[in-house]
Structure 1
Amino acid sequence: MKNKIQYSSLLILFFTSHFFWSQENKSSFLIADKNKVSTIYIDQNADQLVVWAVNELANDIQEITAQKPAIVKTQKSKGENGIYIGQINESVFKNYTKPNLKGAWEKFSIDQDKNNLYIVGSDVRGTVYGIFETAERLGISPWKWWADVNNIKKETLVLNLPTGGITESPSVQFRGIFLNDEDWGLQPWAAKTFEKETKDIGPKTYEKIFQLLLRLKANTIWPAMHESTKAFFKIEGNKEMAQKYHILLGTSHAEPMLRNNVDEWKKETMGAFNYFTNSENINKYWQDRLNEVRDSKAEAVFTLGMRGVHDSQMEGAKNVEEAKNMVEKIIIKQREMLASTFKKPITSIPQVMIPYKEVLEQYNKGLKVPEDITLMWTDDNYGYIRRISNEKEQKRIGGGGIYYHLSYWGRPHDYLWLSSMQPGLIWSEMSKAYANGDKKMWIVNVGDIKPAEYDLEFFMDLAWDINSIKPDGINQHLKNWAAREFNDAVANDVSNVMSEYYRLAMLRKPEFMGWSQTEPTTQIKPSEFTTQEAKRRIELYDQLMNEVNRLSQSIPNERKDAWFQLVVYPVKSAAYINHKFLYWQLSLESKDQAEKEKFENLSKEGYHQIEELTRYYNNEMSNGKWANMMSMAPRKLPVFDAIKYDNPVKIEEKKEANPTNESIAIQAKDFSASQGVKNYQWKAIEGFGYSNAAITLFPLKTSSFESEKPSVTYTFESNNTGEYEIEVRFIPTHANDSNHQATVTFDSNTNKTFKLNSYDRDATWKANVLRNAAIVTLPVKIENTGKHTIKIEVNQTGIVIDQLAVYPKGQKKYEIPFK
């Protein structure tokens, strides 16, 4: 103890005269205290984006400590103590010895040397990412502006680093967002609230978006493109703002050659968007945009190929073969135009081909795509990636990428209101894609950005560093986020609330609670939950709301608005839409008139509470900053309407389980034995599935199994005999060959092999994505009481098991309970 006291005394003396000290494999650098603040030194010729980011950091330090660092431009290191920020090729860093920065893509290092802190990047964006990594480590949220996570004042501000500092570079080269379906949030907010002078999503709005992207270490934008919004290039200042913030421009699967067809293709003057009959006008249309990009020196990734004007099939093609052949010719022509316009080898110009919807069918039928073009695979719009690169495709020069959805408009039902994609699902699908070589470009459809804040950050954290979140570290990531956004004291409880919010939505998203569909739109109907399941689901949501109310008392005043938009609004809105529909169902089922009226009133109250939450979000939260951002009824679908209680509804009488008959619920992670093959083993993924710990085979590299197959075995005790059904719930993932199979065996004698994959937009696929489960059932006869076994064998990687249940025959339920 004496030695420790002596060491502490020395440490205090060291601290009072120096900026840096080290303890237990950690380095700490004093940014500011009540007596002083570190000076920031930058090169006198620093890029303007670096200058902006440095000023952002200085302003944040001032907000926190009331002391603003001086920013000094210099040509070389003068030996003064302070923070040195810039690119490795600047004269300030000619003696900087950190290896492997020169010539790297977006790489940075943060470390200390003696009494100085160095934030050094390989290029402009790498330097900016290093600055914002520093900011985040100081407790400054990337969502400071976009979610009003205001800085909290501190007297002393210290940067903690591991000994030796950190060096980071991106796992995925091009990382960005697609602003989509913006009609009910981002566009009206920009037009009516934030950017009234433009009356649209213009440079003022894009500036805030680009600043957010840099704080999230992203670099690419696919601009908004719906009919409600003017084309990106049509609004003066948009492309210049992208250049100012070094953001790469791209366009979605339906917008080749940086063209927004919805707003820019004028059929009246240009003719049909039909390459078979109107190629000359279409080529000119594309060339005009290329000239504009060339002249403005904008950075871009060019989408190639051709679909319809919007999200539709190519015009003029009579069949898939004809469309495939024409797309091949179009890609050749587009590449000729790119090479001649930019006077570069075509292999040096970033290009992407997106096999989405019918284009995937063309690709599967042999569409020829040059090797240097990135193949960008897509999910099925509900989070399940349809295809990933196979062994041959992984060798392509252009590599592979993923276009993923956190928000979607379309069949079987939109989910544009609340963001409830389970983090474990995002982790599983994106990690699987990365393990199979799809690491060139990741773009995520974020709708209006709000309220997808956490899911977007989770996605971007993976894109930046695929190893930053482990399968058993997903809950910790959520906890770390909660600590940064609110405080350490509530972090664990907040992460538990949000984890349960995502889990409950995994069984049925809030937008799907009306049991209605779209394209074509159908009307609402009572749920498939049994009476007891409905009551339990209401109770679980009520527990969440009670916990939110309790935690609200512990949120700092500076973060109250952030708390409402990041936690209160999504959690309570999800709870109240469940109230609206489940209490309506209970009222329909009740035979007691007083109880029926009580449930009906509770259902009505659910609707009114959503109205009030949304009113507060738009009008009072953050002093009206987000007015017109939050719609409680995007696309005005039936699920969002007030229920018409006078309309007669036929309700099926549901047989509740006989309490004397046992139903057994098993979570997939609770296997009694497992069998791996080769180097593959079964592991759980946190925050995934209704069990919150669905299992799959690791590593995630694709493999098939022929003779010997991996398996998991479950044991349960039965107190009764008779006819039963074993139900296994798999996560509805996809295989390249649509040949995921599982064999379920009961007591080594009754077994069946099931095909697990569904096909695009068929009835099974719709049911699977609405409940996030591919369900198989094996009828069995239990002839003896006591111990029994269920064995599940699989033929490929990528198969994910969530839950099992054993039901008396005819007593299956919508939910397999989880405790």
Structure 2
Amino acid sequence: MLDEYYRLAWSRKPEFMGWEREWDAPEYTELASTDYSFQNYNDALRRLDDYQRLSDKAVRLYNELPENYRPAFFELIGYQALASYQMNRKFLMAQLNRELLAEGKVEQANWAARQSELAYDSIASLNHRYNTQLDGKWNHMMTLAPGWVAKYQNMPEVTYTKGKGETPVDLSLRPEQDKLERCALVDLTRYHIKSASGHTLRLVKGLGYDWNIIQLGEATEALADPTSPSAPQIEYELPQIDADSVTLHVYSLPVFPIYKGRGTRFGVSVDGQPVQVTNNVPVEYSKQWKDHVLQNGVKATFTFSIDRERKSHTLTLSCGDPGVMIQRIIIDWCGLKETYVGPDIRILH
């Protein structure tokens, strides 16, 4: 349960689901729709489904526990699972309300608005339950008081059209959305170490959007030239690509260089072409830095030419500044649809 709780919060913490930053430019000061998509790759639907399963499991375990164990379980795990689900539901249902209203689906939009309001009320109820347990042992620990530099605790704006009734929306996963066309996901677990050159290249479980990351060297190891043929390299096999070029979206973890003078360089190549190098060193508290923190990732984009006659291709990751961690790689040849941080790896399975 804890793994799932942290995995879901990795891409966006519940308190960041309002997509606002009160301390930033005016366009970020109000609660807004998220970047999760209800139309593509089950992006928003899968997030709701994952959180609901986590919440349901917490309820089942709570009910199975002896009476004297229940307060501790609720304080440590149950509240977090249930409240995180309701916080996500609050914002995603408000977004769905706006989207359905724009499509003229008024009755369904009304239902989504009501669900968002129920989620808001549920959070208040969960807070009261937490604070009054064991004669108020943890009173005031959970609250919906106004945030210092955030508004996520507020109810997002929704539109309810009176006199139109409500029609429930089927929020179950839609298999047709999981089809990848003219794009592909790289399964980070299926790698081949081409050359380590004294560096630690490894798969680390329990980090990243898909709970697996590739670490290109330990941070304290020697610098490498990512453009050199002798650089530490990891390879992946790619499918046949029916195009003259391909775009790679590579998400890494947002880390600072270990000390001044170092960077976060790593290189990418396809089919042995010249290595393209990226280096992300944002200024702390800049908009770029904040964006990276909120989505817990940094996206670098690369474009390579493709020999469409080849039946398979090779993607190479090269270590530069050791310690860089790669968490998702998406291959696109004009078919990738818009989502928050790309399709979930579970689509492949």
Shared fold (TM-score, shorter chain, > 0.5)? yes
Deviations for 1:331-377, whole angstroms, at most 9, x for unmatched residues? xxxxxxxxxxxxxxxxxxxxxxxxxxxxxxxxxxxxxxxxxxxxxxx
CA–CA separation in structure 1 for the residues paired with 2:262 and 2:287? 16
1:764 corresponds in structure 2 to 288
1:746 corresponds in structure 2 to 270
1:96 corresponds in structure 2 to none
CA apart distance, 1:576: 0.9
1:688 to 207, 211, 214: 207
CA apart distance, 1:757: 2.3
Determine whether 1:715 maps to 2:237.
yes
Determine whether 1:561 maps to 2:66.
no
Deviations for 1:496-538, whole angstroms, at most 9, x for unmatched residues? x110110111100111111101324711111111213111111
CA apart distance, 1:796: 1.8
Give secondary structure in 2 for the equivalent of 1:540. Answer: helix
CA–CA separation in structure 1 for the residues paired with 2:23 and 2:330? 33
2:8 corresponds in structure 1 to 504
1:602 corresponds in structure 2 to 115
2:155 to 642, 650, 661: 642
CA–CA separation in structure 2 for the residues paired with 1:682 and 1:742? 13
1:73 corresponds in structure 2 to none
1:530 corresponds in structure 2 to 37
Relative contact order (alpha carbons < 8 A, sep ≥ 6): 1 or 2 greater? 2
Classify 1:627/1:760 alpha carbon distance in 2 versus 1 (closer, same or farther; 3 Å).
Answer: same
Determine whether 1:818 maps to 2:325.
no
2:165 corresponds in structure 1 to none
CA–CA separation in structure 2 for the residues paired with 1:603 and 1:551? 26
More deviation, 807-816/562-571: 807-816
CA–CA separation in structure 2 for the residues paired with 1:696 and 1:786? 28
CA–CA separation in structure 2 for the residues paired with 1:689 and 1:796? 19
**Gap runs ≥5 in structure 1:** 1-496, 648-655
CA apart distance, 1:615: 0.8
Alpha carbons 1:731, 1:774 under 8 Å: kept:
yes
Determine whether 1:631 maps to 2:138.
no
CA–CA separation in structure 1 for the residues paired with 2:206 and 2:267? 26
Deviations for 1:705-735, whole angstroms, at most 9, x for unmatched residues? 1453212111121364355421111111111
Classify 1:808/1:697 alpha carbon distance in 2 versus 1 (closer, same or farther; 3 Å).
Answer: closer
CA–CA separation in structure 1 for the residues paired with 2:14 and 2:83? 8
2:97 to 549, 563, 587: 587
Give secondary structure in 2 for the equivalent of 1:577. Answer: helix
Classify 1:788/1:634 alpha carbon distance in 2 versus 1 (closer, same or farther; 3 Å).
Answer: farther
Alpha carbons 1:675, 1:681 under 8 Å: kept:
no
Deviations for 1:532-588, whole angstroms, at most 9, x for unmatched residues? 311111111111112212222332322211110111111111111110111111221
Instruction: Please give the residue correspondences for 1:140-539 in structure 2 after superposition, counting only pairs within 5 Å.
Output: 497-520=1-24, 522-531=29-38, 532-539=42-49
Determine whether 1:577 maps to 2:90.
no
1:733 to 242, 255, 259: 255
1:416 corresponds in structure 2 to none
- How many residue pairs match? The answer is 313
CA–CA separation in structure 2 for the residues paired with 1:795 and 1:698? 9
Classify 1:712/1:500 alpha carbon distance in 2 versus 1 (closer, same or farther; 3 Å).
Answer: same
Determine whether 1:540 maps to 2:50.
yes
1:137 corresponds in structure 2 to none
Paired residue type of 1:664: A
TM-score (norm. length: structure 2): 0.82
CA–CA separation in structure 2 for the residues paired with 1:674 and 1:557? 56
Q: Which of the pair has more CA radius of gyration? A: 1
Determine whether 1:794 maps to 2:319.
yes
Instruction: Please give the residue correspondences for 1:11-22 in structure 2 after superposition, counting only pairs within 5 Å.
Output: none
Deviations for 1:68-111, whole angstroms, at most 9, x for unmatched residues? xxxxxxxxxxxxxxxxxxxxxxxxxxxxxxxxxxxxxxxxxxxx
Classify 1:732/1:615 alpha carbon distance in 2 versus 1 (closer, same or farther; 3 Å).
Answer: same
Determine whether 1:703 maps to 2:213.
no
Q: How large is the RMSD of aligned CA atoms in angstroms? A: 2.5
Classify 1:712/1:584 alpha carbon distance in 2 versus 1 (closer, same or farther; 3 Å).
Answer: same
Deviations for 1:757-808, whole angstroms, at most 9, x for unmatched residues? 2221222211111111111011244424631221111212121111111124
Paired residue type of 2:337: Q
CA apart distance, 1:657: 8.2
2:184 corresponds in structure 1 to 664
Alpha carbons 2:278, 2:300 under 8 Å: kept:
yes
CA–CA separation in structure 2 for the residues paired with 1:575 and 1:781? 43
Alpha carbons 2:243, 2:333 under 8 Å: kept:
no
Classify 1:628/1:714 alpha carbon distance in 2 versus 1 (closer, same or farther; 3 Å).
Answer: same
Give secondary structure in 1 for the equivalent of 2:239. Answer: strand
Classify 1:808/1:577 alpha carbon distance in 2 versus 1 (closer, same or farther; 3 Å).
Answer: farther
CA apart distance, 1:754: 0.9
Alpha carbons 1:720, 1:785 under 8 Å: kept:
no
1:162 corresponds in structure 2 to none
CA–CA separation in structure 2 for the residues paired with 1:606 and 1:786? 50
Alpha carbons 2:266, 2:278 under 8 Å: kept:
yes
